Amino acid sequence: MDWDWRSELDTWLAPFLAALRHKTRSRMCPAYIAGLMGPGDRKSIQPMAARTGEASYDQLHHFVASGAWDAAPLETVLLTEADRIVGGNDAWLIIDDTSLPKKGTHSVGVAPQYASTLGKNANCQTLVSLTLASREVPVMVGLRLFLPGIWTSDPTRLDDAGVPLDCWDYRTKPEIALAEIDRVRSAGARFGCVLADAGYGMSASFRQGLSGRGLTWAVGIPYKQKIYPADVAMIFPVTGRGRPRKRHIPDVKSVSAKAMLETAKWRKVSWRRGTKGPLSASFAAVRVRVADGPPQRIRDMGAQHLPGEEVWLVGEYRSTGERKYYLSNLPADTPIRQLAGAIKARWVCEQGHQQLKEELGLDHFEGRSWKGLHRHALMSMIALAFLQTQRLKQAQGKKKNRRTTATADFASD
């Protein structure tokens, strides 16, 4: 950073400091965020305090780990700033999770579980993340710790880590995500479509929760997700004996998403231009009804899910030979290029995760408490939002300079 970023940071943080409403905390907050943004490979409290010299280790540790202040007002300011930076009807709200590998067993939420960062099971903490993004610019607006059952079944452990009582009950990642979406919406942040990978998209209650909130969504699903054709009809089964059936059943069996697209027409689609040219893959899309309605016994097949909402089933055939499957409730007249663009827009959140870890030390926090981890995550997200404003400002400045140069060249001709 070769510009006077510290003075700009202090100015930009003004609404956050006003939300803290405390003189000492208003001094610690900029010092902590400056420590995250400053030089040095390690962004835990002790080396940050040593490098900046603005506050001692004890002061910074007290601020982030034990000080009596409410993070909610700062989270609301962050959402306001994120909406100003990238919000709008063309913005995406991306749901994902990110893992923080850990040693030991005492850090809140740590357990052997799937680590998305490593692509395998490992001892780690898992955070459900929400990213507001547009124009390939991600701004992280939510990080909430997922507590595995080994934690929620141990009240002593929860109490020792300072987990709030209203978070003691086990909640799935999709349940945490829906609660976070409600928080984002209540703060007035604007977005047009919710995106998520198959870890969330495979949850019928998650998809139904989004639709029930009137939201547009596009999510990944496993290839074996059961699907009905869009024109499935509900009929009364004909019985040769016994009492007449009182419940309708589908007139066809559900099949897997993979089987549904076997005979579909695949075509090459480019969704945007990358640094090395157009980004493209083969896609197929058909209208279907998801087999996520109420379960009901159907003939000799036992309990089966009835047809649910009519949506798009989209398949992606990558150059590697890998196939991926998605569902979306985008309108029935949506062009396949727009469907592909929505599906692929999710990947920008990975850029946000990478920046939070590599540039701002999200995974460097050494405390063990719920409060400390979430406050450190909040400071990291505020720092990322500031950096995104600066990057956009610099990009706009370069565009203006190019236009000015072009105008001058034209005038000189």
Query: Helix or strand or coil: residue 207?
Result: helix
Average pLDDT over residues 4-21: 92
CB atoms within 10 A of CB 85: 19
Q: Which residues contact 384 (CB under 8 A, 6 or more apart)?
A: 139, 140, 352, 355, 356, 359, 360
Bridge partners of residue 316, in order along the sequence: 283, 324
Task: With cut-offs at 50, 70 and 90, classify the pLDDT of residue 54.
Answer: confident
- Is residue 411 situated within a structural domain? no
What gap in Å lies between CA 380 and CA 362, rounded to an integer?
6
Q: Are residues 284 and 315 in the same domain?
A: yes
Q: Are residues 362 and 323 in the same domain?
A: no
- Is residue 338 situated within a structural domain? no
Q: Are residues 169 and 305 in the same domain?
A: no
The backbone torsions φ and ψ at residue 147, rounded to the nearest 5 degrees and listed phi first, read -105, 115
Helix axis angle, 23-37 to 45-52, nearest 10°: 100
Please tell me the predicted confidence (pLDDT) of residue 406.
43
Please tell me the predicted confidence (pLDDT) of residue 272.
82
Output b/e per residue, 123-150; b: 16+ Cβ within 10 A. bbbbbbbbbbbbeebbbbbbbbbbbeee
Q: Are residues 72 and 185 in the same domain?
A: yes
What gap in Å lies between CA 150 and CA 36, rounded to an integer?
32
Is 60 exceeded by the pLDDT of residue 157? yes
Please tell me the predicted confidence (pLDDT) of residue 300.
66
Task: With cut-offs at 50, 70 and 90, classify the pLDDT of residue 140.
Answer: very high
Which amino acid does the sequence have at 404?
Answer: T
What torsion, rounded to 10 degrees, do the Cα atoms 46, 48, 51, 52 define?
-120
Q: Are residues 282 and 183 in the same domain?
A: no
Q: Are residues 167 and 244 in the same domain?
A: no
Please tell me the predicted confidence (pLDDT) of residue 410.
36
Q: Are residues 141 and 279 in the same domain?
A: no
pLDDT tens, residue by residue, 345-370: 999 999 999 999 999 999 999 999 99
Please tell me the predicted confidence (pLDDT) of residue 132.
98
Strands annotated E in 184-254: 193-196, 217-221, 226-229, 234-235, 249-250
pLDDT tens, residue by residue, 170-186: 999 999 999 999 999 99
User: Which of 329, 357, 388 is the last residue before a domain boundary?
Assistant: 329
- Is residue 341 situated within a structural domain? no
Is 70 exceeded by the pLDDT of residue 211? yes
- Is residue 412 situated within a structural domain? no
Task: With cut-offs at 50, 70 and 90, classify the pLDDT of residue 251.
Answer: confident
Domain count, the chain: 2
User: Which of 268, 296, 329 is the last residue before a domain boundary?
Assistant: 329
Please tell me the predicted confidence (pLDDT) of residue 395.
81
- Is residue 377 situated within a structural domain? yes
Helix axis angle, 5-12 to 370-412, nearest 10°: 120
Please tell me the predicted confidence (pLDDT) of residue 409.
47
Please tell me the predicted confidence (pLDDT) of residue 38.
87
Return the ∠ at Cα 358 (arms to 357 and 362), rounded to 5°. Answer: 25
Task: With cut-offs at 50, 70 and 90, classify the pLDDT of residue 276.
Answer: confident
Please tell me the predicted confidence (pLDDT) of residue 397.
67
Q: Which residue has the higher pLDDT, 241 or 187?
A: 187
Average pLDDT over residues 229-245: 73
Average pLDDT over residues 21-39: 92
Q: Are residues 105 and 233 in the same domain?
A: no
Beta strands 255-256 and 323-328 are unpaired
What gap in Å lies between CA 109 and CA 128, rounded to an integer?
12
Please tell me the predicted confidence (pLDDT) of residue 398.
66
DSSP annotation of 369: S
Please tell me the predicted confidence (pLDDT) of residue 3.
54
Task: With cut-offs at 50, 70 and 90, classify the pLDDT of residue 299.
Answer: low
Q: What is the 3-state secondary structure (H, E, C) of 29-66?
A: HHHHHHHHHCCCCCCCHHHHHHHHCCCCHHHHHHHHHH
User: Which of 329, 361, 380 is the last residue before a domain boundary?
Assistant: 329
Query: What mean pLDDT is reported for the chain?
Result: 90
Average pLDDT over residues 111-116: 91
Q: Are residues 139 and 261 in the same domain?
A: no
Task: With cut-offs at 50, 70 and 90, classify the pLDDT of residue 116.
Answer: confident
Task: With cut-offs at 50, 70 and 90, classify the pLDDT of residue 399.
Answer: low
Q: Are residues 296 and 364 in the same domain?
A: no
- Is residue 408 situated within a structural domain? no
What gap in Å lies between CA 158 and CA 171, rounded to an integer?
14
Q: Which residue has the higher pLDDT, 33 or 407?
A: 33
Q: Which residue has the higher pLDDT, 77 or 319?
A: 77
Bridge partners of residue 143, in order along the sequence: 129
- Is residue 405 situated within a structural domain? no
Domain that holds residue 230: 221-329
- Is residue 58 situated within a structural domain? yes
Q: Are residues 255 and 382 in the same domain?
A: no
Q: Indicate the range of 20-34, 43-57, 282-296 predicted with least confidence.
A: 43-57
Q: Are residues 242 and 372 in the same domain?
A: no
